[in-house]
Amino acid sequence: MKFLDTKDYIVFLIYFLIVASYGIWIYRKKKSHTSDSKDYFLAEGSLTWWAIGASLIASNISAEQFIGMSGNGFKMGLAISTYEWMAAATLIIVATFFIPVYLKNKIYTMPQFLSRRYNDTVAMVMAVFWLLLYVVVNLTSILYLGALAVSSISGFSLSVCMYGIAIFAILITLGGMKVIGYTDVIQVFFLILGGLVTTYLALSMVAEHYGGSGVLEGFAKVKEHASDHFHMIFKKDNPNYPSLPGLTVLIGGMWIVNLNYWGCNQYITQRALGADLKTARGGILFAAFLKLLMPLIVVLPGIAAYVLYKENSGGIVAAMTQGGELNQDKAYPVLMNLLPAGLKGLAFAALTAAVVASLAGKANSISTIFTLDIYKKKINPGASEQKLVSVGKTTVIVAMLIAVLIAPLMGIDKKGGFEFIQEYTGFVSPGIFAMFILGFFWKKTTSNAALFATIGGFLLSVFFKLLPLFANLAFLAPFGFATLVEQKNGAMVYEIPFLDRMGFVFLICVAVMYLISKAENKKGIQPKGLEIDKSMFKTNPGFTVGALIICGLLAVLYTVFW
């Protein structure tokens, strides 16, 4: 395998120096305020709309997108783009309805929202839960998958890559949200530029294979020779239907995936919580526009790799085969290894930028939740601002060290890529989203109802996952709510697609929360509501026009590629 050339290392070194130098400059420029905990954790009032938007995307796009989503593009085609394109629509909803509630009620962390809306018990349970989830699942997954990809391209050992990426991320995170937010602008620049270079070269390779040249001809050949990979909505007979079950991606569980991720997730919302409403909305709208662009970078290369694989161009079959079996998650690294010297370094910098930015954002959220919601509330209520910042920085280092130590022990590389992460995050997101959405907009929702959603939602998800082991779900197949996944000993085994499963669990949680709340309301229990008025949700003309443009573009994309 061809690893990095001297030119590639020079390009990567330039990227590293630019990001590090800019981060140091931002840190020194703002140093007089970094003893303020809100400034450190939220960059209160400091991030511009473009910094917020860039930081949202930089924190969101990581190895699971570059590697996992590109692999899904190889396997199922453009349909996997629904996670990106529906996110654009979701961001408009979050900016319009969710962010005003957070800012109006001075909410800075998700546990703080739960404490104010429900009670300290719900908040503490979720704070501990989020910390475990972020450290044990998210931080380790991002770190390990990122290091795995970087190792396969650079030739360095997995351990060296893991420690190197972790140290780079720590250096950025210790500067606080200001440094993260503004360095993310550069990270996104490299991410998009390097990603587009990879796409450009992949399409050019397809064109050259068929005796032509140029990106447009390459795209035309990809559409011609992989026409089955350009449908957004799968029919029931499609083998990938269990992953993306038809219209569910437009009117079902896909909304829960995205609304929970973009609207109820500390890791993401933290970028906007330190700004005023107009700036926050502007940043989120910018992120929505960038989301429309992401499939060009993380999905289209996978489809191009599929065409090259069918033709065995450039020895791609051997490169993507592991132990005699096709490994779809190798699509993007294989393409990167085919890039010429210099450009390969740029694409390598893009991948590294995605991983480091995502790690930094996640580590900052871990630090924020532990410091403000656990340490300040339960361990040292009288802690000074300087002490809180110090604890926050220590938390970053400890969390990253834990992730480095346990990541190799978790078998992350054997569990699949992007789709696996989505499915297993879906075990908890329906209940959490139900708790948040009713907490926002129905003042009668009680704390016990919220606790049910937290615990009951998870148990219901496990129940529906295991149900096929005890019951034949064939009767749901005609309605599209169950699909044949395997045949054992002559018996047909049906399973509920995980996106549909999420929809069912969400609806059950909302119904039971309603019944619990109503019963407790009759007993005289009056929950704590949030401060909400209709004027909060009014948008300015610029945001409205931008939102309409995004909705129009989405309508066109889904119509053309239905």
- Of 438, 460, 453, 449, the closest CA to residue 509 belongs to 453
pLDDT in tens, 22-35: 777 777 776 544 45
Domain of residue 101, CATH code: 1.20.1730.10
Give the angle 357-363-369 at the CA atoms, nearest 5°.
135
User: What is the Cα 52 distance to its own chain's centre?
Assistant: 16
Count of structural domains within the chain? 1
The pLDDT assigned to 478 comes to: 61
The pLDDT assigned to 122 comes to: 84
Q: What does the DSSP assignment read for 339-361?
A: SPTTHHHHHHHHHHHHHHHHHHH
| Buried b or exposed e, range 471-483, using 16+ CB within 10 angstroms | eebeeeeeebbbb
| Contact assessment for residue 162 and residue 404, using Cβ atoms and an 8 Å cutoff | yes
User: Does a structural domain hold residue 285?
Assistant: yes
User: Does a structural domain hold residue 283?
Assistant: yes
User: Does a structural domain hold residue 355?
Assistant: yes
The pLDDT assigned to 40 comes to: 59
pLDDT in tens, 233-251: 988 878 888 788 888 888 8
The pLDDT assigned to 2 comes to: 55
The answer for 3, left when phi > 0, alpha when psi is -120 to 50, beta otherwise, is: beta
What the block records as the tokens of 373 is 């919601």
User: Does a structural domain hold residue 452?
Assistant: no
What the block records as the tokens of 536 is 């909060």
pLDDT in tens, the chain (562 residues): 456 778 888 888 887 788 777 777 777 776 544 455 555 555 555 678 887 887 788 777 776 777 778 888 888 889 999 999 999 999 999 999 988 888 888 887 788 888 888 888 888 888 888 888 788 877 887 888 788 778 877 778 888 888 888 888 888 777 666 666 666 677 777 777 777 888 888 888 888 888 888 888 989 998 988 888 999 998 887 888 878 888 888 888 889 988 988 888 776 777 677 778 888 899 999 999 999 988 988 899 889 888 888 877 666 766 667 666 777 777 777 777 777 777 778 777 777 777 887 788 788 888 888 888 888 888 888 888 788 888 888 888 898 899 888 887 766 655 454 666 666 677 888 998 999 999 888 888 999 999 899 889 889 988 888 887 777 766 666 665 666 666 555 566 677 788 888 888 999 999 999 999 999 988 888 777 777 778 888 889 999 999 999 999 999 999 998 8
- Of 124, 176, 175, the closest CA to residue 376 belongs to 124
Report the distance separating Cα 531 and Cα 319, nearest Å: 57
- Of 308, 310, 347, 305, the closest CA to residue 330 belongs to 305
User: Does a structural domain hold residue 412?
Assistant: yes
Report the distance separating Cα 433 and Cα 427, nearest Å: 12
Q: What does the DSSP assignment read for 276-302?
A: -HHHHHHHHHHHHHHHHHHHHHHTHHH
Phi, psi (rounded to 5 degrees) for 491: -95, 140
User: Does a structural domain hold residue 233?
Assistant: no
The pLDDT assigned to 41 comes to: 57
Residue type for 107, please?
A: I
Distances 482 to 240, 485, 494 between C-alpha atoms, Å: 13, 9, 6
| Contact assessment for residue 158 and residue 25, using Cβ atoms and an 8 Å cutoff | no
The pLDDT assigned to 333 comes to: 76
User: Does a structural domain hold residue 556?
Assistant: no
The pLDDT assigned to 88 comes to: 94
User: Does a structural domain hold residue 254?
Assistant: no
Q: Domain range holding 189?
A: 11-227+269-418
